């Protein structure tokens, strides 16, 4: 039987790659320590399979074909085609089709209807956190793309239900696998809008408190009420909600918060508390 061994969240953004040192030495050292702690916790869980929940930034899909949820079920995934992203990973990234198809079948048996892809490109949303966490050897990756780009977006309640569904798939998988989940994106930021670069630190800090509390209904109400005003990029917190559902709504450790306008992101990092 498979086992959930870790649940994590990390922000991502192109300027983490393109302007890494632009935040100055002290703040760079601070966020580097946070990434390092996240990487240490991930390494300790010794995952065979990592589910990465991220948006697609117009790399795989466009408005003529825009799934709400897509599971990558291929044996291999392609690395990012973004020419500015120079990550230390091979361009061919191993998947785990057996578990991914089990996840898809579990979803379909419970009236969830994901899209499937046998060939996904993993863009900066997937790869920058793993790179900056110091992961040198990737486990098998099962990517899940959540639409946070173009309305209508999946509800927060549905994202939490997806997380619960992922946990059922892990618990029912017959093979002996250690599975972790990484949610990427968020927190507050605005991209391509008149207020581009605006951060909402109050929203971000309240997000942390609600996730830490384990009070799921209150978290859902808060996100429904406040997320849209925190910038269009804040919609990526849906990925965190998926991981929250997978972790059973347990509270988490907020590992660091770095509201860096040079990167246009209220950068947040977390690790969920799982029962031993």
**What CA–CA distance (Å, rounded) separates 249 from 270?**
14
Active-site annotation, residues:
124, 189
**What CA–CA distance (Å, rounded) separates 146 from 152?**
12
**What CA–CA distance (Å, rounded) separates 201 from 12?**
17
Percent helix, strand, coil in the chain, to 5, is 40, 20, 35
State whether residue 185 is helix, strand or coil: coil
Which structural domain, as residue segments, surrounds residue 238?
A: 3-272
Which pLDDT does position 276 carry in this prediction?
63
Domain count, the chain: 1
Which pLDDT does position 275 carry in this prediction?
72
Sheet arrangement for strand 265-272: 115-117, 69-72, 140-146, 49-54, 178-184, 3-10, 265-272, 252-260
Q: What angle do CA 203, 265, 153 make, to 5 degrees?
A: 70
* CATH number of the domain where residue 131 is located: 3.40.830.10
Sign of the alpha-carbon dihedral angle for 226, 210, 220, 132: positive
pLDDT tens, residue order, the chain (276 aa): 899 999 999 999 999 999 999 999 999 999 999 999 999 999 999 999 999 999 999 999 999 999 999 999 999 999 999 999 999 988 999 999 999 999 999 999 999 999 999 999 999 999 999 999 999 899 999 999 999 999 999 999 999 999 999 999 999 999 899 999 999 999 999 887 887 888 999 999 999 999 999 899 999 999 999 999 999 999 999 999 999 999 999 889 999 999 999 999 999 999 999 976
pTM for this entry: 0.97
């Amino acid at each position: 039987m498979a086992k959930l061994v870790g649940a994590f969240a990390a922000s991502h953004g192109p300027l983490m790659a393109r302007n890494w040192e632009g935040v100055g030495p002290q703040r760079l050292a601070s966020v580097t320590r946070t990434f390092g702690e996240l990487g240490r916790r991930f390494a300790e869980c010794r995952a065979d399979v990592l589910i990465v929940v991220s948006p697609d930034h117009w790399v795989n899909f466009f408005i003529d074909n825009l799934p709400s949820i897509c599971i990558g079920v291929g044996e291999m995934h392609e690395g990012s085609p973004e020419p500015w992203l120079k990550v230390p990973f091979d361009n061919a990234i191993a998947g785990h089709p057996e578990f991914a198809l089990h996840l898809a079948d579990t979803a379909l048996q419970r009236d969830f209807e994901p899209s499937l892809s046998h060939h996904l490109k993993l863009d900066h949303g997937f790869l920058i956190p793993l790179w900056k966490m110091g992961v040198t050897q990737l486990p098998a990756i099962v990517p899940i793309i959540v639409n946070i780009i173009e309305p209508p977006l999946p509800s927060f309640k549905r994202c939490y239900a997806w997380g619960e569904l992922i946990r059922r798939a892990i618990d029912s998988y017959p093979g002996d696998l250690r599975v972790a989940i990484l949610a990427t994106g968020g927190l507050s930021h605005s991209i391509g809008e008149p207020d581009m670069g605006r951060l909402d630190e109050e929203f971000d800090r309240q997000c942390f408190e609600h996730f830490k509390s384990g009070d799921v209904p209150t978290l859902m109400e808060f996100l429904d009420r406040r997320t849209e005003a925190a910038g269009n990029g804040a919609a990526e917190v849906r990925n965190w909600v998926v991981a929250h559902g997978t972790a059973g709504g347990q509270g988490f450790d907020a590992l660091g918060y770095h509201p860096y306008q040079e990167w246009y992101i209220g950068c947040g990092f977390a690790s969920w508390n799982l029962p031993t």
